[in-house]
Amino acid sequence: MSELETDYLVVGAGAVGLSFVDTLLDEDPDATFVIVDRHAKPGGHWNDAYSFVTLHQPSASYGLDSIPLGHDRIDTAGPNKGYFELASGAEVLAYFDNAMRDRLLPSGRVAYYPNCNYLGDHRFENIFSGSVTEVQVRRKLVDSTYFETSVPATHKRQFDVEPGARLAIPGDLPDLWRRPADIPGHYVILGGGKTAMDTGAWLLQAGIDSGRISWVRPRETWFLNREFVQPGEQFFERVIEGQIATFKEAASADTVDDLFLALEKRDIMLRLDRDVLPEMFHYPVISTGEVELLRRIEHVIRMGRVTRLEERKMYLRNGELPVPDNTLYIDCTASAVRPKPTRPQFEPGRITMQLLHVPLVTLNASVTAVIEANFDTDEEKNALGLPVGFIDTIDGFAMTLLGTGMNRMRWAQNPVIGNWLAKSRLDPSAKAIAWLRENAPERLAVISRMMAASMAAVPNLQRLAATAQQ
Ligand SMILES: Cc1cc2nc3c(=O)[nH]c(=O)nc-3n(C[C@H](O)[C@H](O)[C@H](O)COP(=O)(O)OP(=O)(O)OC[C@H]3O[C@@H](n4cnc5c(N)ncnc54)[C@H](O)[C@@H]3O)c2cc1C
């Protein structure tokens, strides 16, 4: 068995693990890192993504704090027209690969072990050679696998597929051109989340008639309107007004359903079918252009989850349905989000990377690194970032708003974190605020209205969150 020594042993070279290392490299100039991941390249689940995946939030505030992603361009065509660009999966993957080669490894303080499974007890094993390495960890194990992001290419299917039934994953679709004789006559999208949306949009944009597409949506979801998650100065008032409106509605809504419906009236929340009340909310972001496109698919099947697929019939929890000849089923049932109990972020010898500011996963990771470097005890560190539990139903919304708002407040009151955030590209409003401070300080008055609205919403959010937990 070989041996290594390091300050931090980081499990996972996805967005979260890499963001943590990127920020701690600057915040603590002495710290050393060993990063272990079973994937052959950095970037985590983006290695397994379908080729037409994109970020659903703007590239401008995703990735590592030290390296811009994209060119802060505003799209001039397509369903994202008028908004900040969204990196493709290939761009995200290249970005993390370059970050490893251009910044992390050249620092001389990072050692990266791809193709390795973490075994626990500070040991990892190379997948190909079977050789095991033991790591002497001077400071902490950093577990960045908490989110267990699941994607169609790697997840475990929860339904049976009988011989003859043709099943694909979204990543197979762009390859259909290679077998013209096999082009399906009908397509059935399985799943109601963001991957299913991407797949529906891809099929329609590829030229497939909407009448040849069916869509199994066991649950409907609410979406955030992309207009309200834009980072630039030109969107500043609209975004902050959106937050004020959210808190104002949150202060008075009787139920979480009422809160979403009120936000829909203000165009902040969107849904595909106005006749069905969504049960799910994972913070997906979508534009009104994409919603209009997806509404063209009219054959929506709401009979629960699929249990078995046959060539000419599918079985769902609440019944069965025939499907046309030459149907291709497309598995979009992996859930990127896995609700789990939280634990303290900082424990002796261990950091478990969780959500502090929903849904900005890389901002969370970087702030965690700032806290790790600048404060002494685990107690002090945990007081600056309470993990926010994630529930995949709409009931979790009050809790995530409340938890994020409270952490945000703690950070704003702490000069170390506040100063770091003011310069960070991962905080969507930071850059706009810095620009306005220099160029148009009068436009910042709206911030105090937002603070007041957020404080006023706390009692009702606490009530809604408590109701959700019962
Ligand atoms: C299609 C899609 C689009 C998304 N778009 C956005 C977006 O626009 N904005 C946003 O903020 N979030 C988005 N997300 C959420 C996504 O979860 C985050 O962006 C982020 O990439 C998650 O990073 P991670 O490091 O937590 O997880 P992962 O990318 O899953 O990385 C974890 C890594 O840990 C490794 N690992 C796990 N266990 C072990 C072990 N025992 N041994 C060795 N290695 C191990 C895995 O191989 C993996 O590489 C999206 C998710 C999906 C699926």
Note the pLDDT tens digit of each residue in 353-368.
Answer: 999 999 999 999 999 9
57 lines ligand 1 (CB under 6 A): yes
Cα–Cα distance, 390 to 78 (Å, whole number): 32
Confidence of residue 436 (pLDDT cuts 50, 70, 90): confident
User: Nearest residue CA, atom 22 of ligand 1?
Assistant: 15
Give the 3-state secondary structure of residue 95.
helix
* Residue 55 predicted with pLDDT over 90: yes
60 lines ligand 1 (CB under 6 A): no
Mean predicted confidence (pLDDT) in 320-349:
92
Q: How much distance in Å is there from the Cα of 90 to the middle of ligand 1?
A: 15
Q: Which of 45, 56, 113, 390 to mutate to test the pocket of ligand 1 (most atoms within 8 A of CB)?
A: 45
Cα–Cα distance, 20 to 18 (Å, whole number): 5
Give CA torsion, residues 415, 417, 422, 426, to 10 deg.
Answer: 180
Q: What pLDDT shows up at residue 382?
A: 98
Confidence of residue 375 (pLDDT cuts 50, 70, 90): very high
User: Nearest residue CA, atom 33 of ligand 1?
Assistant: 12
59 lines ligand 1 (CB under 6 A): no
* Residue 156 predicted with pLDDT over 90: no
> Which ligand 1 atom sits nearest the alpha carbon of residue 43?
29
405 lines ligand 1 (CB under 6 A): no
The rounded percent of the chain whose pLDDT value lies above 90 is 86
Q: How much distance in Å is there from the Cα of 202 to the middle of ligand 1?
A: 23
151 lines ligand 1 (CB under 6 A): yes
* Residue 339 predicted with pLDDT over 80: no
Count, residues in the chain? 470
137 lines ligand 1 (CB under 6 A): no
> Which ligand 1 atom sits nearest the alpha carbon of residue 57?
8
39 lines ligand 1 (CB under 6 A): yes
In 243-393, DSSP assigns E strands to: 269-270, 285-286, 299-301, 306-309, 313-316, 319-322, 327-331, 346-347, 350-352
Q: What pLDDT shows up at residue 207?
A: 96
Confidence of residue 227 (pLDDT cuts 50, 70, 90): very high
Give the 3-state secondary structure of residue 15.
helix
> Which ligand 1 atom sits nearest the alpha carbon of residue 119?
41
Cα–Cα distance, 186 to 325 (Å, whole number): 7
Mean predicted confidence (pLDDT) in 73-98:
94
Mean predicted confidence (pLDDT) in 24-38:
98
Across-strand partners of 11? 36, 143
Cα–Cα distance, 9 to 43 (Å, whole number): 17
Strand pairing report for 160-161 and 166-168: unpaired
Strand pairing report for 160-161 and 132-143: unpaired
> Which ligand 1 atom sits nearest the alpha carbon of residue 53?
1
278 lines ligand 1 (CB under 6 A): no
44 lines ligand 1 (CB under 6 A): yes
* Residue 424 predicted with pLDDT over 80: yes
Confidence of residue 128 (pLDDT cuts 50, 70, 90): very high
Q: Where are the CATH 3.50.50.60 domain residues in the chain?
A: 2-145, 150-220+297-336
CATH 3.40.430.10 fits 150-220+297-336, yes or no: no
Read off the tokens for 348. Answer: 């002796």
> Which ligand 1 atom sits nearest the alpha carbon of residue 39?
47
> Which ligand 1 atom sits nearest the alpha carbon of residue 92?
21
* Residue 321 predicted with pLDDT over 90: yes
User: Nearest residue CA, atom 5 of ligand 1?
Assistant: 55
Cβ atoms of 90 and 51 closer than 8 Å: yes
Mean predicted confidence (pLDDT) in 139-146:
96
53 lines ligand 1 (CB under 6 A): yes
374 lines ligand 1 (CB under 6 A): no
Q: How much distance in Å is there from the Cα of 144 to the middle of ligand 1?
A: 9
Q: How much distance in Å is there from the Cα of 42 to the middle of ligand 1?
A: 10
Mean predicted confidence (pLDDT) in 101-106:
98
Who's near 415: CB < 8 A, 6+ residues apart?
A: none
Residue 346 sits at φ, ψ, to 5 deg, of: -110, 125
Residue 205: Cβ within 10 Å count: 12
Give one word for 127, left, alpha or beta, with left for phi > 0 and alpha for psi -120 to 50: alpha
* Residue 101 predicted with pLDDT over 90: yes
Q: What pLDDT shows up at residue 232?
A: 81
In 79-191, DSSP assigns E strands to: 110-113, 116-120, 123-126, 132-143, 160-161, 166-168, 186-190
* Residue 150 predicted with pLDDT over 80: no
> Which ligand 1 atom sits nearest the alpha carbon of residue 334?
53
Read off the tokens for 313. Answer: 């019939």
Confidence of residue 9 (pLDDT cuts 50, 70, 90): very high
Q: What pLDDT shows up at residue 214?
A: 98
User: Nearest residue CA, atom 29 of ligand 1?
Assistant: 44
CATH number for the domain whose boundaries are 2-145? 3.50.50.60
* Residue 470 predicted with pLDDT over 80: no
pLDDT per residue as tens digits for the range 245-287: 999 999 999 999 999 999 999 999 999 999 999 999 989 999 9
User: pTM higher than 0.75 for the full model?
Assistant: yes
* Residue 46 predicted with pLDDT over 90: yes
420 lines ligand 1 (CB under 6 A): no
Angle at the Cα of 162 from the Cα atoms of 159 and 168, rounded to 5 degrees: 70
Q: What pLDDT shows up at residue 392?
A: 80
Q: In one letter, which amino acid is 313?
A: K
Mean predicted confidence (pLDDT) in 305-323:
98
* Residue 92 predicted with pLDDT over 90: yes
